[in-house]
Amino acid sequence: SRNGWGFLKSFFLTQSVRSPFLYGMNFVFYILTLLIRFRTHMARKFENIQDVVASMPKSFRPDKAEGVDAVIQIHYTGDEGGNWWLDIKNQTVALHEGTHESPELTMTCASEDWLKLVNREANPMAMIMQRKLQFSGSMPMAMKFAGMFGLA
Q: Give the mean pLDDT of the chain.
A: 80
- Identify whether the C-beta of residue 124 lies closer than 8 Å to the C-beta of residue 117: yes
Banded pLDDT at 147 (limits 50, 70, 90): confident
83 and 21 in a common domain: no
92 and 20 in a common domain: no
Q: Which of the pair, 32 or 132, is modelled with greater confidence? A: 132
pTM, two decimals, is 0.68
72 and 136 in a common domain: yes
Cα angle for residues 70, 71, 75 (degrees, 5° grid) = 145
Residue 34: give the domain boundaries: 6-42
- Identify whether the C-beta of residue 77 lies closer than 8 Å to the C-beta of residue 114: no
34 and 56 in a common domain: no
- Identify whether the C-beta of residue 96 lies closer than 8 Å to the C-beta of residue 87: yes
- Identify whether the C-beta of residue 85 lies closer than 8 Å to the C-beta of residue 98: yes
123 and 70 in a common domain: yes
Query: What CATH number is given to the structural domain containing 95?
Result: 3.30.1050.10
72 and 19 in a common domain: no
How many domains is the chain built from? 2
Count the residues in the chain. 152
* 122 lies in some domain: yes
13 has pLDDT over 70: no
56 and 131 in a common domain: yes
74 and 127 in a common domain: yes
90 and 65 in a common domain: yes
* 1 lies in some domain: no
60 and 33 in a common domain: no
Q: Give pLDDT tens digits for 42-97.
A: 357 889 999 989 988 988 999 999 999 999 999 999 999 999 999 999 999 999 99
In whole angstroms, give the CA distance from residue 9 to residue 25: 9
* 108 lies in some domain: yes
- Identify whether the C-beta of residue 87 lies closer than 8 Å to the C-beta of residue 101: no
Residue type at 148 in one-letter notation: M
* 81 lies in some domain: yes
84 and 21 in a common domain: no
Backbone angles phi, psi at 69, to 5 degrees: -135, 95
In this structure, the strands spanning 70-77 and 105-110 are parallel
Q: Which of the pair, 21 or 137, is modelled with greater confidence? A: 137
In this structure, the strands spanning 133-137 and 70-77 are unpaired
What's the whole-number mean pLDDT along residues 108-128? 89
Q: Which of the pair, 120 or 99, is modelled with greater confidence? A: 99
65 and 37 in a common domain: no
